[in-house]
Amino acid sequence: MKLLSRYLTRELTASIALLIVALIALFSFFDLIQELESLGKGNYSLDQVLLFVLLSAPGHVYQVVPVAVLVGTMYALGQLARHSELIVLRVSGVSIASVAWILIRVGLVFVVLTFVVGELVTPLSEKAAQRTRIKATDSVVAQEFRSGLWVKDGNSFVNVEDVKTDAGLQNIHIFAFDDKFRLNTITNARSGRFDGESWDLHDVSKTTFSEDKVRSDFYPSFNWGSLIRPELLNVLLVVPEKMSAWNLYTYIQHLSSNKQKTARYEVALWAKMIYPLACVVMVILALPFGFLHQRATGTSAKILGGVMIGVVYQVLNRVFVHLGLLNDWSPLFSAIFPTLLFLMIGLSLLIYVERR
């Protein structure tokens, strides 16, 4: 049994690894074509384009591993079926459950790989990629509205026209309200930088409103204590799906403390925890195809079928995220339903094949 386990593990791992490399190369090529449109914008040179594509590659690893596991498993089983090796295994008394357990252990390896890349590598590489591109083009991290970025900080609403790649702020406007939502002060600053504990603002004009008068003051520098940290501004560099679980959790806590909606980030957090398990689900889903119509169905057809199933899975993941946000579904349900659905389909097919 150990010999069989090593043989199946080697065949399956080689097929999956080959597909991961091929898919990453394909997606990186698409990134390169897209980025060439921005070539020459500002200081965006070919070297920086290639660096951006390279730094974006780990994000593609996280996305394509489950699909590669599905297609790679189908391909490996298709090759075994083509040479009648699966028939020999069945005739020799090896059950589908035994083969499934060997393949699931391979899937668990890719679960760990997906989680490590998604949690430790992708957030850093994606942030570095966006910094490289933004710094070379227009040096602005985000402008969610025409007026810039808006953030709620306690009883204050903060408008930042420009956020630099080093988390420095430009043209800051702070509107402070009292507990009855009456405007108390308007603070305008030309620039700001975080000094480790608070924000050091420069060229500050502060307008204070009281019941009988309005007072204006100017300060060359001003210390602004705020719950906003550069780590929260760095969230702007990476879409929620590519953030680390810890950064998602921290940002959710910040939004909750300011009574803002957290659904988008909660779904992303649950998906971050559940998505790597899709590797095991894909192994279970692919296994029955190795025993169904072994002679009638060619390897190419199985690969095409695997690609289509993988595409449907990715589409369902995206669809349920948006449906959950629109209909206020539970974030856990929105994140886990497609994976559970495919797991049930895979288990049903396994039971069907076992009873044939």
Q: What are the E-state strand segments in 139-235?
A: 149-153, 156-163, 169-177, 183-194, 199-209, 214-224
Residue 206 and residue 302 in one domain? no
Residue 126 and residue 171 in one domain? no
> Does the pLDDT of residue 304 top 90, yes or no?
no
Ranking 43-57, 170-184, 217-231 by mean pLDDT, the lowest is 217-231
Q: Is 291 within 8 Å of 353 (Cβ atoms)?
A: yes
Residue 38 and residue 117 in one domain? yes
User: Region 127-156: what's the mean pLDDT?
Assistant: 68
Residue 346 and residue 220 in one domain? no
Residue 168 and residue 292 in one domain? no
Q: Is 240 within 8 Å of 268 (Cβ atoms)?
A: yes
Quote the domain boundaries for residue 86: 2-138+264-355
- Residue ranges of alpha helices (H) inside 241-298 are 245-257, 263-274, 278-286
Rounded CA separation 96/77 (Å) = 12
How far, in whole angstroms, is CA 140 from its chain's centroid? 22
Question: Where among 199, 226, 253 does a domain terminate?
Answer: 226
> Does the pLDDT of residue 234 top 80, yes or no?
no
Domain for residue 290, yes or no? yes
Residue 25 and residue 77 in one domain? yes
Residue 222 and residue 333 in one domain? no
pLDDT digits 0-9 by tens, 35-87: 888 787 777 888 888 998 999 898 888 888 988 998 888 888 878 877 777 77
Residue with tokens 């995220």: 321
Domain for residue 74, yes or no? yes
Residue 192: strand, helix, or coil: strand
Residue with tokens 């609403």: 157
User: Region 243-266: what's the mean pLDDT?
Assistant: 81
Residue 50 and residue 132 in one domain? yes
Residue 214 and residue 120 in one domain? no
Per-residue confidence (pLDDT) for residue 20, from 0 to 100: 92
How many C-beta atoms lie closer than 10 Å to residue 101's C-beta?
Answer: 11
Domain for residue 253, yes or no? no
Residue 185 and residue 76 in one domain? no
Q: Which residues contact 64 (CB under 8 A, 6 or more apart)?
A: 20, 23, 24, 27
pLDDT digits 0-9 by tens, 82-132: 777 777 777 777 777 788 888 899 999 999 999 888 888 888 888 788 777
Domain for residue 258, yes or no? no
Rounded CA separation 211/172 (Å) = 26
Measuring CA to CA, how many Å separate 123 from each of 57, 127, 155? 12, 6, 31
Domain for residue 179, yes or no? yes
Question: Where among 170, 196, 226 does a domain terminate?
Answer: 226
- Residue ranges of alpha helices (H) inside 142-244 are 230-233
Rounded CA separation 120/110 (Å) = 15
Domain for residue 244, yes or no? no
Domain for residue 63, yes or no? yes
Residue 8 and residue 129 in one domain? yes
- Percentage of the residues of the chain whose pLDDT score is greater than 90: 14
pLDDT digits 0-9 by tens, 305-314: 777 888 888 8
161 burial via Cβ count (<10 Å: 0-12, 13-18, 19+): middle
Task: List phi, psi (to 5°) of 238.
Answer: -125, 135
Rounded CA separation 301/212 (Å) = 80
Residue 108 and residue 197 in one domain? no
Antiparallel, parallel or unpaired: β 214-224 and 199-209:
antiparallel
DSSP label at residue 178: -
Q: What pTM value is reported for the model?
A: 0.70
Go through the chain and tell me how many residues it has: 356
Question: Where among 204, 226, 248 does a domain terminate?
Answer: 226
Domain count, the chain: 2
Rounded CA separation 254/106 (Å) = 38
DSSP calls for 28-76:
HHHHHHHHHTTTTSTT--HHHHHHHHHHHHHHHHHHHHHHHHHHHHHHH
Q: CA dihedral defined by 96, 97, 102, 108, rounded to 10 degrees?
A: 120
Domain for residue 101, yes or no? yes
Measuring CA to CA, how many Å separate 161 from each of 131, 227, 239, 250, 258? 18, 19, 20, 24, 21
